[in-house]
Amino acid sequence: MSNNTSVVGGQISKRKINDQVIIVQILVGIFLCINSMLIATFFTKEIFYTNMRYILFVTTLFSDCVYLIMSNVLLLLSYFAVPLQTWSCLFFFLLSSMYNYVTPLTLTAMSLERYVAICMPLRHAELCSTARALQSVLIIHSLSFIPYIVIFFMLLSSVTFSFFTQHIICSVESLTLHRWQGHVRSAVSQFYFLIMCILIAFSYVQIIKVAKAASGNNKESTRKGLRTVILHAFQLFLCLIQLWTPFIEAAILEINFNVFRNVRYINYILFILSPRCLSPLIYGLRDEVFLLALKHWLFCCPFKANIQYGFCWE
């Protein structure tokens, strides 16, 4: 183990870099490398960046990368008790908060895209064009920005301007000065995820109806779409649990600080890192066309694909 020196309140304190911190850095590094390879693969073939399904997929990859970087920076700053000016903390919190919502909102959009592809195939080209995909990405980012605006104005109504020039340990707790602010933040998050759960459940039910009536190749294609929606729902479920972890951690913090640190570490692994590694598995490895393009980019394998019918060959 090695030591790290941080300054808090004008005093020098030392904090050991333990195995947990090293494990997190390794996992974050692995996930960022995988996501970076997939993002690079996306830009190698025109069939990807002109198809809504893959545009939304790369949006989740980019969102996950930004969120992993921001959450890891905040984790290290908090772990080593590095004070930041409140304005700087708000900037980090802006990116972290916004991209915390971008991924689940994009997963919902991807489920709706599968619903249109399977249940409304004749209108799929019209409703899921490249222009509509870019509009969807813009709407997703706009919706993701709203919770931060709510939090910012709640903070603005509770403090004076001098608060923003103070140095604090950057965390959600530092920006939540009153209990009611935490309740409002929780209510906004739960409202978002309630709407997302309803939309994914709607897509699932509609695809099931089509699956029962389908036959042959159509039935197999429908089942693949159904499995994808189920995986999106599971990924969204992990993100939903993440919303409850601050309340669990706050209750444990009042009882035992050492237990609080361990619980926060476990929550970070299970509900922040884990959901972010599912996107590459769902689309990067399960999708035959994208997997072949990745092999072509990494190993120079021949590549030819028919994305309309969902198959490829070498």
Residue 63: per-residue pLDDT: 92
Span 48-75, mean pLDDT? 90
Residues 198/233, Cβ–Cβ less than 8 Å: no
Domains of the chain in start order, with CATH, are 19-290 (1.20.1070.10)
With a pLDDT cut of 70, the percent of the chain lying above it is 85
The two structure tokens encoding residue 94 = 């802006």
- Which residues are registered as beta bridge partners of 304? 313
Place 177 in a pLDDT band, splitting at 50, 70 and 90. confident
Residue 312 has pLDDT above 80, yes or no: no
The two structure tokens encoding residue 55 = 């545009």
Residue 219: per-residue pLDDT: 66
By C-alpha distance, which of 105, 36, 114 is closest to 68? 36
* More confident call, 20 vs 120: 120
Span 188-205, mean pLDDT? 87
Residue 305: per-residue pLDDT: 52
How far apart (Å, rounded) are the C-alpha atoms in residues 62 and 55? 11
Residue 301: per-residue pLDDT: 59
Predicted TM-score of the model (pTM): 0.83
Predicted confidence (pLDDT) per residue in 212-256, tens digit: 776 556 666 677 767 777 877 777 777 777 767 777 777 787 787
Helix (H, G, I), strand (E, B) or coil at 160: coil
How far apart (Å, rounded) are the C-alpha atoms in residues 192 and 106? 12
Mean pLDDT of the chain: 80
Residue 283: per-residue pLDDT: 66
Residue 221: per-residue pLDDT: 67
Residue 309: per-residue pLDDT: 38
Residues near 45 by beta carbon (within 8 Å), at least 6 away in sequence: 293, 303, 305
By C-alpha distance, which of 258, 104, 96 is closest to 175? 96
Helix (H, G, I), strand (E, B) or coil at 169: strand
Residue 216: per-residue pLDDT: 58
By C-alpha distance, which of 114, 309, 282, 118 is closest to 212? 118
Q: H helices of the chain, where?
A: 19-42, 46-49, 52-79, 86-119, 124-127, 130-156, 172-175, 179-213, 216-253, 257-268, 274-279, 288-299
